Amino acid sequence: MKTPLQLPRGGETAAEVPPRGDLEGVAIPCCYLAPVSHYSAYYRADEVWLEVCDHFVKQTLRNRCYIDSPNGALALTIPVVKPEGKTLMKDIRISDHGNWRHQHWVALESSYRQSPFFEYYADDFAPFYEKKWEFLADFNEELMMLVTSLLDIQKPIKRTTSYSPTKFSGPTPIPSLVGRGAVTTPDSFISGRTICSPPYKGGVGGESGGSGAVYYQVFASRHGFLPDLSIVDLLFNQGPEGVLWL
């Protein structure tokens, strides 16, 4: 059994960091190891829905994430069974083509084995690259539940049952999402479900994608800070204290 990690700030634990609650409700695209900005939206919202009833779009973060590497942002893509026509995200199946599970795990190990918390969390993530999931949405959701558990964010998330682009409205957009393809305008933050497409461009104005604060990254001395990478970049580098960057 793991020894609970303690944050260095006066004995404060992640569970004691109050949720911001400055978004009434948010529908978050169902992404593979989503970027920090998506978890910031999750953390800030009072009510969270996972969007699984939109149409799957190729070359988006639904089946792709970006991690740090010695050569900059590295894309990890999950192959999917080619859909017949327009297919809902919840119905997309994962393909076993290309031994992707092994390749993704090797990439994560290579990029983060020197990070402060990779070894601590490795046993939590390894099963996701050993077991086979049939549906991409199930795989993504299980990973999201793991991440929120490790960050000690205790907030339920519900799946959408139909697509309604005007389901939510809220007053506060996440700045790093606006203008980079993830959201069209500040007013459409809650209902905007399109996902930023590759190549990786990072956050707006060098922001981290969450609070905007820069945090330690393993390869920052080589290529500078890379904003809004996958949430695992924040988790492996900051551990449970990562919630303070959301």
Omega into 175 within 30° of 0, i.e. cis? no
Structure tokens at 145: 């539940």
Number of folded domains that form the chain: 1
In a domain? residue 85:
yes
In a domain? residue 7:
no
Model pTM score: 0.79
The whole domain housing 202 covers: 20-245
In a domain? residue 10:
no
In a domain? residue 67:
yes
Q: How far apart are CA 21 and CA 3, in angstroms?
A: 30
In a domain? residue 6:
no
Q: How far apart are CA 47 and CA 242, in angstroms?
A: 21
pLDDT one-digit tens code per residue, 20-54: 555 567 788 899 999 998 898 889 888 888 999 98
pLDDT value for 209: 53
pLDDT one-digit tens code per residue, 56-80: 988 889 999 999 999 999 999 999 9
Residue 61: enclosing H or E segment and its boundaries?
none
- Backbone dihedral region of 145: left (phi > 0), alpha (psi from -120 to 50 degrees) or beta? alpha
